[in-house]
Amino acid sequence: MSDTVLYDYWRSSASYRVRIALNLAGSDYRAIPVDLVKREHRSDDHMSRNPQGFVPVLDIDGLRLTQSLAILDYLDQTRSLGLLPKEPGERALQQALAHSIAVDVHPVCNLSVAVAAEQFAGGRDGARKEWMQRFIRPGLLAFETMLESFDQAPFCCGDTPGLADICLMPQVYNARRWEVDISDMPRLLSVETACSTVPAFAAAYPETCKPD
Ligand SMILES: N[C@@H](CCC(=O)N[C@@H](CS)C(=O)NCC(=O)O)C(=O)O
pLDDT of res. 35: 98
> What does the domain layout of the chain look like in residue ranges?
5-81+205-209, 88-202
54 CB near ligand 1 (under 6 Å) = yes
Question: What's the CA-to-centroid distance between 18 and ligand 1, angstroms?
Answer: 12
The predicted structure's pLDDT at residue 116: 96
Pick the CATH number of 88-202 from 3.40.50.10800, 3.90.1280.20, 3.40.50.300, 1.20.1050.10: 1.20.1050.10
- Residue among 55, 108, 178 to mutate when testing ligand 1 (max atoms within 8 A of CB): 55
The segments of the chain whose pLDDT lies below 50 read: none
Residue 25 Cβ contacting ligand 1 at under 6 Å: no
- Please tell me the predicted confidence (pLDDT) of residue 92: 98
What pLDDT is recorded for position 87?
A: 98
9-68 residue pLDDT tens: 999 999 999 999 999 999 999 999 999 999 999 999 999 999 999 999 999 999 999 999
Using a cut of 0.95, tell me whether the model's pTM lies above it: yes
5-81+205-209 and 88-202 have identical folds: no
pLDDT the model gives residue 79 = 98
Q: What is 5-81+205-209's CATH number? A: 3.40.30.10
Q: Compute the distance from residue 153 Cα to the ligand 1 centre, in Å.
A: 31
Q: Which of 198, 151, 128, 141 is nearest to 171 (CA)?
A: 141
pLDDT of 2 reads 62
